[in-house]
Amino acid sequence: MRRSLLLILLVPMLGLAQETRKLDPWPPLMFFIGSWSGTGKGEPGVSDLERQYQFILGGKYIEAKHKSMYAPQAKNPKGETHEDLGFFSYDRGRKQHLFRQFHTEGFVIHYRLESITPDNKLIVLISESIENIPMGWRARETYRILNENEFVEIFELAGPGKEFEVYSENHFRRRK
């Protein structure tokens, strides 16, 4: 009886373990792995950009390090440097890519991959929650792949009960 019960409990777990080993969640995001630079424009002004995507912790996660450098300008007389650090993961239970992004300003945005085109050239992330900001705010990141060495990222925000508005648009080129 004990042996039968043990088999009933273990067989589904073995199947799940095999399914987990076979699943590679990263093909839709492989394009981004590497070093990038570019320019941005938006609410804080015009910026120079640096970004690095790399696998970490045995390939279980993708880390995204980002820096935007805004020189003094009319929209932003003092200039500024913005940094954020993000982590892509894959939730096997939800069958969903997730992205958690930590900003120097103290905001933490939890995204889910909302949609991706079959050719992986348009990827949309929608916030599930944003820490350290009034309730009701939402964020959306859209990545549009232009070619094998360029992509555009559009970051949008929506206040409570409002539609999304573009906050910044960044154009990245792969570093050789």
pLDDT one digit per residue (tens) for the chain, 176 residues: 555 544 555 555 555 555 445 689 999 999 999 999 999 999 888 999 999 999 999 999 999 999 999 988 887 788 899 999 999 999 999 999 999 999 999 999 999 999 999 999 999 999 999 999 999 999 999 999 999 999 999 999 999 999 999 999 999 999 97
Q: Return the pLDDT at 44.
A: 86
Q: How far apart are CA 5 and CA 9, in angstroms?
A: 6
Q: Return the pLDDT at 147.
A: 97
> What pTM value is reported for the model?
0.84
- Quick one: tokens of 41? 């424009």
Domain ranges of the chain: 26-174
Q: Return the pLDDT at 91.
A: 96
Fold that domain 26-174 belongs to in CATH: Lipocalin (2.40.128)
Give one DSSP letter per residue of the chain, joined into a string.
Answer: -HHHHHHHHHHHHHHHHHHHHH----GGGGGG-EEEEEEEEETTEEEEEEEEEEEETTTTEEEEEEEEEEPSBTTBTT-EEEEEEEEEEEETTTTEEEEEEEETTS-EEEEEEEEE-TTS-EEEEEEEEEESS-TT-EEEEEEEEEETTEEEEEEEEE-TT---EEEEEEEEEE--
Q: Return the pLDDT at 135.
A: 93
Q: Return the pLDDT at 100.
A: 98
